[in-house]
Amino acid sequence: MMTDVKSPLLHINEQIKSHCERVGRDPHSVQLLAVSKTRTADELAKLADQGQRHFGENYLQEALAKIAALRGRGLVWHFIGPIQSNKTRDIAAHFDWVHSVDRLKVARRLSEQRPPESAPLNLCIQVNVDDEASKSGVALAGVAELAAAVDALPNIRLRGLMAIPRADNDDGNRAAFRQLAMTLSQLRNTMPALDTLSMGMSADYPVAIEEGATVIRLGTALFGPRPPKA
């Protein structure tokens, strides 16, 4: 057993702190989202025992089982995967955040289906910063219009923007992150309450922090490599 080796969570939290200090940011301005797709409830529980509260899931059925298994621990659940319209009811009922909204129809359904006794659903708009036809996310040119429409919906609290830049940008995705940050800053002229930039994964999160990320989404850096999908 390697019980005396520093845990990945502790290591990452130290990294966040030092990257923040290097660029003069408050370490508390960056929230670590543990991306737990394909991980078991037991693996999540171990991280929760070490103090991790925010978990991000991509697949609804898998997520619902873990949310049920870990109920009562005060965890905060973020949906970060592609959203089909027929999944919105369960997402609206069981999650605290959704990062991956890229069309108004989905936002409307989440708004209508959010249970009245729940707090407003925190929502980020996913932006296709590389303008790749193959990936989800609204094009940069469409962000302002979508944001204004989403912001007007009841039971929704629009928080900001999310992006998954292509993995092979040779600048560590810096230009893509900067573009997303600039887009948020423009939106804040009319929607000053927006406060969230969800960007940066295991391979590029230090650059994302430098460029202003407020939520970084880490999977493999916390849990190790994911098993290949069957």
- Exposed/middle/buried for residue 31 (C-beta within 10 Å: 0-12, 13-18, 19+): middle
Residue of 155, 158, 210, 217 whose CA lies nearest to 184: 158
- Let me know: does 156 contact 120? Beta carbons within 8 Å: yes
Neighbours of 145 (CB within 10 A): 11
Closest CB to ligand PLP among residues 50, 118: 50
- Let me know: does 67 contact 90? Beta carbons within 8 Å: no
Closest CB to ligand PLP among residues 37, 109: 37
Closest CB to ligand PLP among residues 31, 155: 31
Please state the closest distance from residue 198 (CB atom) to ligand PLP, in A.
8
Radius of gyration over alpha carbons of the chain, in Å?
A: 17
Closest CB to ligand PLP among residues 161, 164: 164
* Tokens (6 digits) for 139: 């094009």
Please state the closest distance from residue 134 (CB atom) to ligand PLP, in A.
15
Residue 124: what residue type? C
| Site residues, ligand PLP (CB under 6 A) | 35, 37, 58, 80, 164, 201-203, 217-221
The residues, ordered by sequence, that sit 6+ positions from 49 with a Cβ below 8 Å of its Cβ are none
Please state the closest distance from residue 224 (CB atom) to ligand PLP, in A.
9
- Let me know: does 100 contact 162? Beta carbons within 8 Å: yes
Closest CB to ligand PLP among residues 13, 58: 58
What's the rounded Cα separation, in Å, for the pair 118 and 99?
18
Closest CB to ligand PLP among residues 34, 184: 34
Please state the closest distance from residue 119 (CB atom) to ligand PLP, in A.
23
The dihedrals phi and psi of 158, each to the nearest 5 degrees, come to -65, 125
Please state the closest distance from residue 14 (CB atom) to ligand PLP, in A.
17
Nearest residue relative to ligand PLP (C-beta): 219
Please state the closest distance from residue 131 (CB atom) to ligand PLP, in A.
18
